[in-house]
Amino acid sequence: MSSSNANVTALYSELLRLGDAAEYDKALKVVNKILHEDKEDKKALHCKAVCLIHLSEFEDAVKILEKQVSDANFEKAYCFYRLNRIQEAYDTLKAINNPSSKEKELLAQVLYRLENYGDCFDVYKDLIKNSEDDFEEERETNLAAVVTNLYSEKGKDFKNAPQLREHTYELCYNSACILISQGEYNLAIEKLKTAEELCKNQIEENDLTEEEVEGELAIIRVQLAYALQMLQKKDRALKLYNLVLKNKPSDVAVVAVASNNVVTINKDQNVFDSKKKIKIATAESLEPKLTTKQRQIIAINNCLLLLHTNQIDQCRRSIQAVINKYPSCGAEGALLLAALHCKEKKVQKAVDVLKEFAETLPDQSLLLSFTLVQLLLTQGHVSQACDTLRSIGDASYTLGVISALVTLYLSMEDKDAATNVLQSAIKWYRKNKSKSSALRILIQEAAKIELKNDHPQEAAKLLEELRKENPGDLKTIAQLIAAYSQFNPDKAKDVSKQLPPVSEITMNVDVDNLESTSWTMGAKYIKKGAKSEPPSGKQDSGDGLIQKKKKKRKKGKLPKNYDPNVDPDPERWLPRRERSTYKKKKDKRGTAIGKGTQGAVTGSEELSKTTLPPTAPSPGSSATPTSPNVTGPRQVKGGQKKKKKNRW
């Protein structure tokens, strides 16, 4: 053996020792020495790539693996995964013919990041079934996360969910997330509280610092706040969000979600705080940390905040960016654009946008069409709104839409159009859902409108159809009698024979109770019950009607010095100054004080005229102890003439 080969062998031995000791920086130096001896050594190049991966230098590792090492697909895929080149990682792993367990583990992680939860679920089930090692809990936790996302995607259609344990806080947390996706918020809150307690217990055993503890609890508290927010307990939710943000957790995804949710609680209030929060949630570095759904929601909330703060141009650019980047958000983008045009008072542009997107997004056309109808109705375009409702396909035959159409047509006094709507709906239900209860409701309503339109014969045909299905329906028989009585009285008499006798109808009717309860003609016509006593101040006249009790007149009071033998003064009702015995007083100047209208003077002499002092309060006001100097009204520049008042 040559000295060179002996040296390489010694270097490989040193490399193995350093690798076992996880001293990868020193191992990298040893590998470089080996490559100095032989630059084409594939094994040494592979070892160098592994050392670079452990030192998180993924770019350099990929360069070596792509150019010089051809059979290291796992390491190459892992580098792509850590560099967020997820699709390249997936393609690399799919090229492996017989993947090992570690390659399947990485494939499951890649599928999760690609949001391909169905295939990811299958891979984890296979791993859990065929693996026996110390990572069982981790796989089960990851499987629970996949199940949570599948519930969020498919809802009740997801039927292959496995039974998961809840002995760790991660599993308990994931179970709570499943309940949230099912809308069971109260149960989810209980699970999250349990997960928080389990987390605290596990953290105490590991002796972590307070910052690390808060970081672990942050994700649980944000989910708990979300559940409270969905239950409209927004004050409690806001406190939890702010608590998490105050502790500054290291997980930037948790910070982004909490910040976004605070913005949704603030809405158009506390705008300055919302601007700071949305800036945190929309940072570019967060994109690989969030799911597509989370990124979409945050982007839409950013547009809404810009709309609320009247940043019109920036809002328009942001909406267009959302539509281009997330095609599945086309409906939300259309609604935002329409709202923006309405804010600019360009209603016709909003209508055009909704019509355009309704044609290009058939799966979202129902939402856009209903929004368009609402917009048209607010503008008073009732006829166009009706045309839009009738153009939404089979959805136009739901009872809610039919009811809206009939109401709108009747508001325009177009009875024929309302009838046509009901008739076309009846034909559709007979063809598609002949046994539906909605068909009976539609026929009843159509018969009512035909009677209102003075078409009793058409109404009778419809009601006869209902009577065949349910011969004992008294309401249908009564309507049928009303219809026949307008054009065929004899038939009405025949149908009326199907009604039960009056004695049978009134058998269970308590007449006394009906007469003693509130009546349309007023309280005084209510008949008194047999055991009830008339209220105070009222009495029964004997004919069954309650009458008011007559009040006795009180005896008038007489003066103390009243003498029945002396006639009363005939001028006792006149004012004292108008009586013959009244003597006029004279003032000090000898003139009599006259009585007349305010401001009048007696004789040819005028009363002296004075003005109120400027410091006097206005009439009806008084100076309070705390403000002794009450000033008069402010004067206009240039002087103001003071009105003179007569003083008696």
Q: Which is more confident, 550 or 271?
A: 271
pLDDT, residue 608, reads 32
Tell which residue, 505, 502, 539, 509, has the closest CA to residue 524.
539
Q: Which is more confident, 589 or 29?
A: 29
Region of poorest pLDDT, from 45-54, 177-186, 471-480, 619-628: 619-628
**Would you say residue 642 has pLDDT above 60?**
no
Q: Say if CB 122 and CB 146 are below 8 A apart.
A: no
pLDDT, residue 625, reads 37
In this prediction the pTM is 0.68
**Would you say residue 119 has pLDDT above 60?**
yes
Count of C-beta atoms within a 10 Å radius of residue 393? 11
**Would you say residue 589 has pLDDT above 70?**
no
pLDDT tens digits, one per residue of 597-619: 444 444 433 323 333 333 333 33
Tell which residue, 289, 238, 228, has the closest CA to residue 263.
238
Q: Say if CB 78 and CB 53 are below 8 A apart.
A: yes
> Which amino acid, 372?
L
| Domain boundaries defined on the chain | 166-248
pLDDT, residue 221, reads 94
SS3 of residue 646 by DSSP: strand
**Would you say residue 550 has pLDDT above 70?**
no
CA distance linking residue 267 with residue 309, whole number of Å: 10
pLDDT tens digits, one per residue of 511-532: 777 777 765 656 666 655 444 4
pLDDT tens digits, one per residue of 319-329: 999 999 988 88
pLDDT tens digits, one per residue of 184-238: 999 999 999 999 998 888 877 777 777 777 888 899 999 999 999 999 999 999 9
Q: How many residues are given for the chain? A: 648
**Would you say residue 560 has pLDDT above 80?**
no
pLDDT tens digits, one per residue of 444-462: 888 888 888 888 888 888 8
Residue 71: pLDDT band with limits 50, 70, 90:
confident
pLDDT, residue 296, reads 93
What is the rounded average pLDDT of the residues 335-352? 92
In degrees, rounded to 5, the angle at the alpha carbon of residue 154 between the alpha carbons of residues 150 and 159 is 80
pLDDT, residue 312, reads 92
Q: Which is more confident, 531 or 371?
A: 371
pLDDT, residue 468, reads 83
Mean pLDDT of the chain: 81
Which helix H or strand E contains 547, and what residues bound it?
A: strand 546-548
pLDDT, residue 586, reads 57
CA distance linking residue 66 with residue 63, whole number of Å: 5
pLDDT tens digits, one per residue of 172-183: 999 999 899 888
pLDDT, residue 506, reads 75
Region of poorest pLDDT, from 142-156, 165-179, 188-202, 631-645: 631-645
CA-atom Rg of the chain in angstroms: 45
SS3 of residue 592 by DSSP: strand
> Tokens 């230098």 appear where?
57
pLDDT, residue 609, reads 35
Residue 636: pLDDT band with limits 50, 70, 90:
very low
What is the rounded average pLDDT of the residues 498-510? 77
**Would you say residue 533 has pLDDT above 60?**
no
Structurally, what CATH architecture does the domain formed by 166-248 represent?
A: Alpha Horseshoe (1.25)
Q: b/e per residue, 168-205, with b = 16+ CB within 10 A?
A: bbbbbbbbbbbbbbeeebeebbebbebbbebbeeebee
pLDDT, residue 519, reads 59
pLDDT, residue 643, reads 44
